[in-house]
Structure 1
Amino acid sequence: MKAYIRNSIVIVLLSIGLYSCQKAEYVNSFSEFVDVYFDADKTALRDNGTGVFIAARYNGNPIEWDVNLKKIKVVAGEGKFEFYDTRNGKVVAEKVIDVKPGSKETYTLFQPTMDAPVSFIDPSEQGTESPAPAGHIKVKVANYVQDLIPFENLDLKVFISYFDADFNTVVEEVGTIKNVKNSIDQAEYHTLPDGLPTPLPEYAHNYVFEFVNGSTGQPLLNHGGTSYSNTALSPQGINPLPVKNIFTLYMISRKTWGEAPPFIKKGDTFYEIETNVLFAN
């Protein structure tokens, strides 16, 4: 009799355990994980030459975020994403998103300098802009290098540089971008000849900027005492390859490895002006 009672209890406990396991599996089947993509490549906290100083929280808790693959894995549903400066814990951007299964949307963050706020931008922002006319490019440029360019009004002389059939370097001026603005929000498109010969050069071509005081016509000088210039744009290096030839660019300062005539000296440190592509279509 005792054995019968003991066996009955065991059977009941096993039944309860089996039901619990089935119930847990049933609940978990509704927890679908989704990859959400956040692109921080255009933030100074991510790209500053020193380290990665941006991380993420989800609903108040730290969460793994691969800044190279750009993805965060979360449960489908509404949640709050916070992005913070790892040096002080300060939240620099946040966004509430209703994450849907199968969603492939990428959210893009923008921060041109370490002192600038972090904002979300629409990567398709210039998608409705009309294409550049045949034989031309459309360029919008923002200047975030006021610390290196002491001009109240900045003009950019634009040159094209390429190798001809005999492998000689050809450099030709294609136009001037006048009155360059100090933020993307204020910048305007300028249409310039693309400067490309017929037939097209076999090797990649680059667009080069020279920096001119719009009020006096005087150029920005480098440490060697000549006109400072930088490589601003290499269209063939952009993936996917632009077909409408429309570009939004922004300029920032970058510390260099040391002293050299082509660089700009400020105090005891040497810099170069780096031009980055924000949008390309």
Structure 2
Amino acid sequence: MNNFIDENIYNSYFGKTPEEKSTVLQPAQIADKIFADKKSKHIHFVETVTQREYTSPWLKHVADDNIDDIEQLAEILKKLCNAAWGANWGEFSPDLKKGEDETNIVLPQITCEINTKDIAEGIGGLKPTLVDVVDEVDGEGNATGDAFLVYRQWFDTIVEFNIYGRTNKEARQLQKRFEKLVATYTGYLKRQGISEILYEREVSPKFSLNYSEKVPMRCIYYYIRFESITPIRHSLINSINAEIGAAPLSADKVKTLINDSSKNSDPIELDFFDGDNGITYEL
């Protein structure tokens, strides 16, 4: 089933004619996909529920910058809103943006914030589990000699969206447009790494985490399942081990352990150090 919206439906929703240039977002073209086959440069151990395909540069970005899930969500939704409504429609951010005067909120504006976050039931485990070992490559595709240990964990969250307008009518209209946009592009959002997103409920603005009686606003909740991907550099682990006086980690022993675990269907947790399974030390 195609996860992307049909062009005719898109044109009808946004009031565009077929002759107009469509601003519908398309998935990024990934030149260096990593697949679980003999030609790939990594070892794939555990099947995952999402369709995300990641590259060594993407893993490097996540590992070095430690991107937070809510930041990624806000970035994806902001791009979607800008594509649908134009770049000048307003602001979208995890943080409430204000003007030069701290008492003045930039309007219109949508903010998002995690209200509750729990470990997902029935998928993954209580700890991040090791699912891949990926060789790092540079910008030209040459191996750097380093590698990423990739861990995954899933979280069920309730995300609060606060929608601000210059008037109550503007806030209500922006709320409706946002809800329709998310419903229309649920497939696109999943392609970008969100495991699930469902409308939960609307509550009185007075229950909002960022309620302001001076600014017209609406407050809606969405259930969102995040897939947290944690890549850890092999070289970083050994660097820390050297600082604390521990022996270096053997990547070969990690791969052997994962192969054995894959056969036995036992997940490899993030905390696999001394005493757990014997892979910490070079013997």
* TM-score above 0.5, yes or no: no
Q: Over alpha carbons, which structure has the higher Rg?
A: 1
Which of the pair is proportionally richer in helix? 2
Which of the pair is proportionally richer in strand? 1
- RCO higher in 1 or 2 (8 Å CA, sep ≥ 6)? 2
TM-score under structure 2 length normalisation: 0.24
TM-score under structure 1 length normalisation: 0.24
